[in-house]
Amino acid sequence: MKNTNSEHDKLCEDVLKKIRTGEVHMKSRAFFTFKIITFVLTTIALLATSALLVSYIIFSIQASGQLFLVGFGGRGFMLFFLSFPWGLLIVDIILWICLEWLIRDFKICYQYPLSYVFLALLVASTLLGLIINTTSIHKSLMRRAEERRLPLVGSFYDHLRRPPHENGEYRGVVMSVGTSTFIIHDEYHDGRDATWTIDVPQEIKTNMFIKVGDTVFIAGTSESSTTIRAFGIRKFMPEFLNERGGF
């Protein structure tokens, strides 16, 4: 026991000797302040990126009209599932995991189960994303991308108002309305003008809610090069239309 105590005393003396001779230095308070500032900035940057991604996902499914698909029954829901930007959502989940890893050593984080922290990050990121969506940031970026004035991230926006026809999604301005058909003009179809005749199922009374000049989103199947058999139709809200009232 005596031996052990003297060994321990020696250990303490060794450490003190290293401190006195300057072999071991105390890191300055400024070092830790800088570390905390870097940490806080990284956390804010990650959270902002994550919120921006959430806001983009919400904006993209609204602006493209894909959100309407959810209301078109099972077939529409399947189409929505297939066209959802899953890749971006996965990137966002990775960002939330990175955030959780980053803040895990803070008491506010580790005193709660991981699932709660993850949920809190998800809610915070989504709320921030919704706040971002109340601004016109995405709309102006989309406009610039369509005018080919948005390098780097332009590809995220320039296709949003050109739905993928191969998935059965169409968009256009109503030219005329009949009882069981109406005609739309799709300005951006494959980069050239196209006019489509829309065959409407009997249960949908198009002339009740569609009028000439409206911009509409249609889910359906192409029956010929100019005819679409629709199973779902929705009118776009004005905030997702441009100055010309078109797409």
Partner 1 sequence: MNDNIAHSTDEELASEVQKGDTEKFGILMRRYEQKLFRYGRKFLSSRDNIEDIVQDVFIKTYQNIQSFDPTQRFSPWVYRIAHNTFINALKKEIRNPLYFFDFDTIMAHPVYEDPDAKEKEQKEIKALVDKGLDKLSPHYREIIILYYLEELKYKEIAEILHIPVSTVGIRLKRAKDALKRMWKETNIPLT
Binding mask 126-155 for partner 1 (x = CB under 8 A): ------------------------------
What is the footprint of partner 1 within residues 187-246 (CB under 8 A)?
none
Q: Out of 2, 12, 87, 237, name the contact with partner 1 by CB under 8 A.
A: 12
β-strand partners of 109: none
Contact residue for partner 1 among 27, 148, 192, 244 (CB under 8 A): 27
Is 8 among the residues that bind partner 1 (CB under 8 A)?
A: yes
- Structure tokens, 20: 């006195």
172 CB burial (10 A radius; 0-12, 13-18, 19+): buried
**Nearest distance in Å: CB 25, partner 1:** 7
Of positions 28, 202, 224, 225, contacts partner 1 by CB under 8 A:
28
Complex with partner 1: residue 116 or 209, whichever CB lies closer: 116
Pick 29 or 244: Cβ nearer partner 1: 29
Among 2, 3, 21, 25, binds partner 1 (CB under 8 A): 25
Task: Decide: is 11 part of the binding site for partner 1 (CB under 8 A).
Answer: yes
Euclidean distance between CA atoms 228 and 140, whole angstroms: 32
Q: How far is CA 156 from CA 23, 82, 141, 173, in A?
A: 55, 18, 9, 23
CB-nearer residue toward partner 1: 39 or 84: 39
The SS3 of residue 210 is: coil
3-state secondary structure of 169: strand
**Interface residue with partner 1, options 16, 93, 119, 131 (CB under 8 A):** 16
Using a CB cutoff of 8 Å and minimum separation of 24, what contacts does 103-112 make? 103/43
Q: What count of residues does the chain have? A: 247
Binding positions for partner 1, 91-120, rule CB under 8 A: 104-105, 107, 110-116
Burial of 58 (0-12, 13-18, 19+ CB in 10 A): middle
Residues in touch with partner 1 (CB under 8 A): 7-8, 11-12, 14-16, 18-20, 24-29, 31-32, 104-105, 107, 110-116
